[in-house]
Amino acid sequence: MLKRSAFFTLFLWVSCAAPQIDIQANIDKANHCKAVTDCKDLGSHCPFGCNVLVNKSQASTVQEMLTTYKKTTTQKCAYDCLALKEIKCIASKCTAIYR
């Protein structure tokens, strides 16, 4: 009985974590730039952090994923984000520069 309970708990954790891992992978893949004008800030999204930055050509797709995730999860978190000073394209990645 204990093994079954542990397996079920692990299954639920993996099931819930999978969409988060997939979304984070898409965010990472979409974070590329040749110039700062390629970058778009999608804002802060729990649990993906402060200032989710992606290439503007993929911003709507990633935003849709974030919105769907928010609607389907009960996960709560709070961020104490620093004020964004600017966004730069550093080493072909959109990078947040904080004050």
Q: What was the pLDDT predicted at 52?
A: 98
Q: Are 26 and 64 in contact (CB under 8 A)?
A: no
- Average per-residue pLDDT in the chain? 86
SS3 labels along 13-56 = HHHHHHHHHHHHHHHHHHCCCCCHHHEEECCCECCCECCCEEEH
- Token pair 């708990």: residue: 9
Give the confidence band of 99 by pLDDT, cuts at 50, 70, 90.
confident
Mean local confidence (pLDDT), 49-68 = 97
For the chain, what is the total number of helices (H) and then of strands (E)? Answer: 2, 4
Give the confidence band of 32 by pLDDT, cuts at 50, 70, 90.
very high
Q: Are 54 and 41 in contact (CB under 8 A)?
A: no
Q: How far apart are CA 89 and CA 56, in angstroms?
A: 13
